[in-house]
Amino acid sequence: MKKVLISLLVVAAFVTGAYTTVYLIDTVKFEQEVIEKREIIGEDSIAPAVAKIYDAVVLIEIREGDSVINSGTGFFYKVEEEKGYLITNYHVVENSDTVVVVTNEEKEYEAEVVGKDIFNDLAILTVAEEAALETIVLGDSSAMAIGESVFTIGSPLGRQYMGTVTKGILSARNRKVETNLGNQRILFEVLQTDAAINPGNSGGPLVNLDGEVIGINSMKIVQETIEGMGFAIPIKSVRAIITQLEKGEEIKRPLLGVLLVDANDQAALYVNRINLLKEYQNGVVILEVGEESDAEKGGVQEGDVVLEINGEQIRNSAHFRFLLFKYEIGEEITLTLEREIDQEMEKKEITIKLETQLKQE
C-alpha cells in the first residue's frame, strides 16, 4: 500500500506544485519507518554473537586409517597448560580410533579423549593450544525465558558444510527424552529447540544472544510428520561432570546390582511367578538379584515389581536408572514395590544403602 501511495504522489508532484509538500512529508515518514525497522532487526540479529564464538567451534572427525567413519562438532571452552579443551558428545567419539579436530581454517590437529560419560552423552578432548583460536563462555539456560532466541554452529553432514549457523528459540526446558546409546536405553533431561540440528551437529553448542553456551546439541526426533524438535544437554547440569572428566576422573554412580526389565515388557513373563502379576503400565520387574549386591543386602527379591524410588514414580528401566543416579554412594534410598505373597501382590517398602560403585568403560 505504501509503494502505491508514493507512486501516485510522484505523479502529482509533476502535475502541480500544490502536492509537492505532501510528497516530501510522506517520503521522510517512509524513510524513517525503514530506518526504525532496520534498527529493530539489528537488535535481534545473531551476527555479533556468531562472530564472537565462530572460531571456537570445530569439526571433529573419527578416522580409521585414511577413512572418516564418523563426524560431529565440538567447541573450545578453555585453554590451560598449553592445551585447548573441547566439549563434544560421547556418541561422536564412542568407537574412536583416531580423533582429528578441524578448524575453520581447515587446520588439522589430532585430539586426545581425556574423559567421557555415556549417561550424559559427554566427552572432553584436548588438542594443542594453538588450535583454540577462541573459547566460548559456559552459560546457564535457567536465566533464559522460553521463546528467547538461540542459535547453533556446527558441521551437518561433515566437512562440506562445516561452520553452518542455524537459528531458533528455546522451546522448552526439562524435557525427558530416551534414546539408545551403546547397548543401553538411556533417559536424558534436555533443552528443546527448533533450531535446525542435523547429523554432524552433535556435540556443538546451543548458544544465547550473548554468545554463551547454554547446551550441547545431542539429538533430534526424526519422523516424517515431525519438524524442528532438537534437544541439547543443559550446560548447568553437567558443569561438575565436565570438571571431573577433564581431569580424567571417573564419575561415581551407585550400582544396585539387579537385572531388570520394564514391567509392561513381555520379558517379564519369564520371571518365576510373574504370571500372577496384574498389568502394570509403570515400574520395573526384577529379573535377577546379584549375590552380595546392595539390592540383595536391602532385601530385594526376584519377581519384585519396583514402582517408586523415594516416592517418585518409575516409568520404565531407563527412568529407574535416571532416578537412581541422582543419589550418591553412601546415601540410602527407599523402594516402593509389590511382591507376591501367598498368591497375592502386596505393597512393601524397603530401604537400601548405596555402597557399590558402577564401573564404567
Q: Is 319 in the active site? A: no
The percent helix, strand, coil of the chain (3-state, each to 5) is 30, 40, 30
Catalytic-role residue among 141, 155, 202, 317 = 202
Catalytic-role residue among 71, 96, 121, 319 = 121
Q: Find out whether 112 and 86 touch, Cβ atoms under 8 Å.
A: no
> What's the longest Cα–Cα distance across the chain?
105
> Under 8 Å CB-to-CB from 11, ≥6 apart: which residues?
none
Going by the DSSP 8-state scheme, the letter that residue 357 receives in this structure is B
Q: Find out whether 213 and 207 touch, Cβ atoms under 8 Å.
A: yes
Per the DSSP assignment, residues forming a β-bridge with 121 are none
Q: Is 91 in the active site? A: yes
Query: What are the CB-based long-range contacts (under 8 Å, 24+) for 78-84?
Result: 78/135, 79/129, 79/132, 79/135, 82/128, 82/129, 83/126, 83/127, 83/128, 83/129, 84/126, 84/127, 84/128, 84/129, 84/131, 84/132, 84/135
Catalytic-role residue among 91, 117, 262, 317 = 91
* Selection from 199, 196, 194 nearest residue 175 by Cα: 194
- Residues taking part in catalysis: 91, 121, 202
